[in-house]
C-alpha cells in the first residue's frame, strides 16, 4: 500500500485535489479511500461552485468514453475549471464527434502503429544522442535529459527547426505545469498567459510561412492538408492542433521515462529481469505507463443527469476523471501498488479511453520502448542519488529532477 493513511470523511474534506502541492506527494492513499468510500466526490473550487471526482476504473472509463453524456467542448483539463475552453470546436481535443472524428481520422493515419514503425531507427538515433555523453560513475540528472527527449523525436516529425526546440520545450513545460518553480515566471495565470502567447504566436507564424510554400512532407504539412468535413482546417484550427501535438509529446513522455527508471531502481529484480531479457521490455513499457500515469486526469462536463457508481452527476457539472487512481484500482489490477513488469493482462488507461484516446499513443509507445531498450543496453546498474524532485502540477504526474549514478555495460 502507499504510504500514509486516510480513514475518515473528515480526512478527505481536508484534502484539496486542486492543490498542485498535494500532488507532489503520494496521492494514492487518498485515491484508495475515495474508490471505496467516496466514489463520486464533490469539492468546492469557487464560492458555491463544485466539481465532481471519479476514481474507480469503470467510472473513469464511462466519463471518458461516453461523449453523449460527458462533453469535451467546455474544457478537458482541471486548470480550466471556472471558465469554458476558448478553443472549443477548434481544437481536436475540445471537440466531440462527429467533428472530432473528422479531424482525428486523417491525422491518425500519419501516427498509426504501421506508420510510426518506419521511424524506429531515427528514434533510436535520437535516444542515443540524449544519452551519449552521460558521465560514467558520476551523478547526472536523468529528468533534465528526459525533458528534451520527446522534442528530439516530435520536432523532426512536426518539421520544427532544431534551433527552436529549447524554446518550445520550455513553453510546453510552462503550459503543462505553470505552478512549478522550475518553469513558473510569476503567478500561475501569468505563466500560462506567456506560454500560450509564445506557442500560439510561434505556430501562427510557422503555419503562415507553410501556407506560402509547398512540398513539406512532415506532420505539420499533413495537418494543413487535412480535409475535415469537406473543408481544410483554418489557420486557427491548425495552430490549436499544433499546440496540442506539442503538449501531447512533451508533457508526459519525459515523466514516464523518469518514473520508469525510478521504479526500476527501487525494484532491482525487475531491472535485472528486463536487462537480461529484452523480451521483458514490452511488459516493462506497459507497467511503467500504468505506474506513472503521467497524464493524471482529464475533465468532462455532464450534458444530462447521469448515474455513476457513486451517485448522480447533474447536468452542467464538471467531472474530473482521475486516471492515476483508475490505474491502481484493486478491482482491475491485482496488487496494484506493486510494480510488476510481468503483469498480464494490463488494461491501463494511461493514454486515456474512448474517442479521445491519445492519437499519438503508437509513437509514444515506440519511443518509450526504444528508450527502455537503449537504457538497459547502455547501463549495467542505476542508483538514485538523493530525493527526486516532484513536478508541482495538479494535471501532470512527474519529476523535474532525478539525480542518478549509472554504471556502463561493456558491450554498450
Q: Is the dihedral of CA 353, 85, 108, 291 positive or negative?
A: negative
Question: Given this model, what pLDDT does residue 251 score?
Answer: 87
Say if 3 falls within a structural domain: no
Q: What is the mean pLDDT of residues 73-82?
A: 93
Say if 226 falls within a structural domain: yes
Give pLDDT tens digits for 211-225: 888 767 899 999 999
Number of domains in the chain: 1
310: burial class by Cβ within 10 Å (0-12, 13-18, 19+)?
A: buried
Say if 395 falls within a structural domain: yes
Cell of 355: 474517442
Say if 135 falls within a structural domain: yes
Q: How far apart are CA 169 and CA 64, in angstroms?
A: 28
Question: Given this model, what pLDDT does residue 32 score?
Answer: 97
Say if 4 falls within a structural domain: no
Range of the domain at 311: 9-408
Question: Given this model, what pLDDT does residue 2 score?
Answer: 40
Question: Given this model, what pLDDT does residue 6 score?
Answer: 80
Q: Please state, in angstroms and as integers, the Cα–Cα distance from residue 101 to each residue in 96, 244, 373, 386, following that order.
A: 8, 16, 34, 46
Contacts with 10 (C-beta within 8 Å, 6 or more apart), sequence order: none
Cell of 345: 493482462
Tally the residues of the chain: 412
Say if 2 falls within a structural domain: no
H or E element, residue 104: helix 99-109
Tell me the CATH number at 270: 1.10.630.10
Amino acid at each position: 500500500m502507499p504510504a500514509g493513511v486516510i480513514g475518515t470523511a473528515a480526512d478527505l474534506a481536508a484534502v484539496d485535489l486542486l492543490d498542485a502541492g498535494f500532488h507532489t506527494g503520494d496521492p494514492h492513499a487518498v485515491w484508495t479511500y475515495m474508490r471505496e468510500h467516496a466514489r463520486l466526490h464533490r469539492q468546492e473550487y469557487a464560492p458555491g461552485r463544485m466539481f465532481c471526482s471519479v476514481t474507480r476504473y469503470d467510472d473513469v472509463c464511462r466519463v471518458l468514453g461516453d461523449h453523449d453524456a460527458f462533453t469535451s467542448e467546455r474544457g478537458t483539463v482541471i486548470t480550466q475549471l471556472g471558465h469554458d475552453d476558448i478553443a472549443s470546436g477548434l481544437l481536436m481535443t475540445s471537440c466531440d464527434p462527429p467533428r472530432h472524428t473528422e479531424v482525428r481520422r486523417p491525422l491518425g493515419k500519419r501516427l498509426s502503429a504501421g506508420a510510426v514503425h518506419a521511424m524506429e531507427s531515427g528514434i533510436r538515433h535520437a535516444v542515443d544522442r540524449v544519452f551519449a555523453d552521460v558521465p560514467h560513475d558520476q551523478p547526472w540528472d536523468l529528468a533534465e535529459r528526459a525533458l528534451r527527449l520527446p522534442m528530439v523525436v516530435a520536432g523532426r516529425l512536426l518539421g520544427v527547426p532544431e534551433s527552436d526546440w529549447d524554446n518550445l520545450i520550455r513553453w510546453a513545460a510552462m503550459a503543462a505545469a505553470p505552478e512549478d518553480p522550475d518553469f513558473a515566471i510569476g503567478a500561475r495565470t501569468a505563466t500560462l498567459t506567456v506560454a500560450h502567447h509564445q506557442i500560439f504566436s510561434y505556430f501562427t507564424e510557422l503555419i503562415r510561412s507553410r501556407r506560402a510554400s509547398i512540398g513539406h512532407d512532415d506532420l505539420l504539412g499533413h495537418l494543413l492538408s487535412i480535409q475535415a468535413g469537406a473543408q481544410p482546417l483554418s489557420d486557427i484550427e491548425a495552430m490549436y492542433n499544433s499546440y496540442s501535438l506539442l503538449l501531447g509529446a512533451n508533457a508526459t513522455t519525459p515523466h514516464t521515462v523518469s518514473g520508469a527508471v525510478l521504479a526500476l531502481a527501487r525494484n532491482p529484480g525487475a531491472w535485472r529481469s528486463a536487462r537480461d531479457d529484452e523480451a521483458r521490455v514490452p511488459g516493462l513499457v506497459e507497467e511503467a505507463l500504468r505506474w506513472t500515469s503521467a497524464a493524471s486526469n482529464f475533465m468532462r462536463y455532464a450534458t444530462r443527469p447521469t448515474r455513476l457508481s457513486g451517485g448522480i452527476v447533474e447536468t452542467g457539472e464538471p467531472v474530473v476523471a482521475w486516471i492515476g487512481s483508475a490505474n491502481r484500482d484493486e478491482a482491475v489490477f491485482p496488487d496494484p501498488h506493486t510494480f510488476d513488469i510481468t503483469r498480464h493482462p494490463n488494461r491501463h488507461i494511461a493514454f486515456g479511453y474512448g474517442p479521445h484516446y491519445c492519437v499519438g499513443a503508437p509513437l509514444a509507445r515506440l519511443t518509450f520502448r526504444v528508450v527502455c531498450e537503449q537504457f538497459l543496453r547502455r547501463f549495467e546498474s542505476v542508483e538514485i542519488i538523493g530525493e527526486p524532485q516532484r513536478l508541482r502540477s495538479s494535471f501532470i504526474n512527474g519529476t523535474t529532477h532525478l539525480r542518478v549514478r549509472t554504471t556502463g555495460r561493456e558491450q554498450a
